[in-house]
Amino acid sequence: MPRAAIYTPSGARAVANLRFYWTGWLSGGEQFPPDLPAAAETCAAPWRSDGISGDTFQSSADMLQILCRVDETVAPSFFAQRLKGRLQHVLRHGGSIIKFNRKLSVRSLDDNKRETVEAYVVHQSDRSDYVDPRFKNYLNDIRFVNDNVDLEAATVTGRGHYWYILCVALVVADRRWPVTRNENFERLRDGCLCIATKKGAAISAVSIMPDHIHLPLRGNIEHSPQEIALSYLNNLSYLMGFNECWSREYYAWHVQ
């Protein structure tokens, strides 16, 4: 009988700063009706129930852009479906039938730049103040960098283009479970890569430190930041002997 997960949606808490920028175009030379702003206002409450909060809204004759803050439970695919679907539903009930074409785009958005985040992760051990230089050299040796992974590459589907760059950080539980043995550093690094492959994500770098892990990745658009973080929390705890070795508070932020 499989063991129950240690980390669950109700038992883990995200420290997150998550925003998506959605752009949609109308098809067939259509134009948005005059009641578009009112329809977007009507959608505000249902969107909030989906974990989506619209911050800015702008449109032209056939293009609509909305910047939203989202909960950690919101995956890019769900975000695009609810943003477009609820808006079309409200407009249809008001007598305006519109049809978006398939070239919508969804971008993760934040003040953190991809190259800055990757450089920070890769050079963490260089900035550390460990007394033993051999330990610092070991951390440098086991860190993982994959130059073939371009986090800025879009995930292209029949529904549009998605730019979903996420950085996840896990912290050891109350510093009770520091990573100290060489084999555990390597087990965790390799485990991070295996989880990414299994979940359809792509990792550009992994840095394992004694008290935390940083993971910049291009996520699977069907998976929310919460789902991604929980997959790492639970699978890596299994690798460490099925112990509650990670804090139940994790960090997740979008990167652009």
Q: Quick one: pLDDT at residue 109?
A: 87
Q: Which long-range contacts (CB under 8 A, 24 or more apart) does 206-209 make?
A: 206/121, 206/143, 206/144, 207/121, 207/122, 207/124, 207/125, 207/139, 207/143, 207/144, 208/139, 208/142, 208/143, 208/179, 209/124, 209/125, 209/128, 209/139, 209/179
The confidence band for 2, taking pLDDT boundaries of 50, 70 and 90, is low
Six token digits for residue 106? 């969804």
Domains 19-108 and 110-255 share a fold: yes
The confidence band for 137, taking pLDDT boundaries of 50, 70 and 90, is confident
Q: Quick one: pLDDT at residue 183?
A: 81
* 65-109: pLDDT as tens digits: 999 999 999 999 999 999 999 999 999 999 998 888 878 999 998
* 145-168: pLDDT as tens digits: 999 999 999 999 998 999 999 999
* 4-50: pLDDT as tens digits: 899 999 999 999 989 999 999 998 888 999 999 999 999 999 999 99
* Torsion angle of C-alpha atoms 200, 191, 6, 218, degrees rounded to 10: -30
Domain map (residue ranges) of the chain: 19-108, 110-255
Angle at 250 between CA 20 and CA 229, to 5 degrees: 65
The whole-angstrom separation of Cα 127 and Cα 147 is: 22
The residue count of the chain comes to: 256
Q: Quick one: pLDDT at residue 241?
A: 85
The whole-angstrom separation of Cα 17 and Cα 157 is: 26
* 108-127: pLDDT as tens digits: 988 777 788 777 777 777 76
The predicted model scores a pTM of 0.92
CATH top class, domain 110-255 = alpha beta
CATH topology of domain 19-108: Alpha-Beta Plaits (3.30.70)
* 228-252: pLDDT as tens digits: 999 999 999 999 888 888 999 999 9
Nearest one of 253, 186, 248 to 216, comparing CA atoms? 253
* 180-192: pLDDT as tens digits: 677 888 999 999 9
Q: Quick one: pLDDT at residue 178?
A: 61
How buried is residue 46: exposed, middle or buried, by Cβ count under 10 Å (0-12/13-18/19+)? middle
Q: Quick one: pLDDT at residue 103?
A: 82
Q: Quick one: pLDDT at residue 120?
A: 75
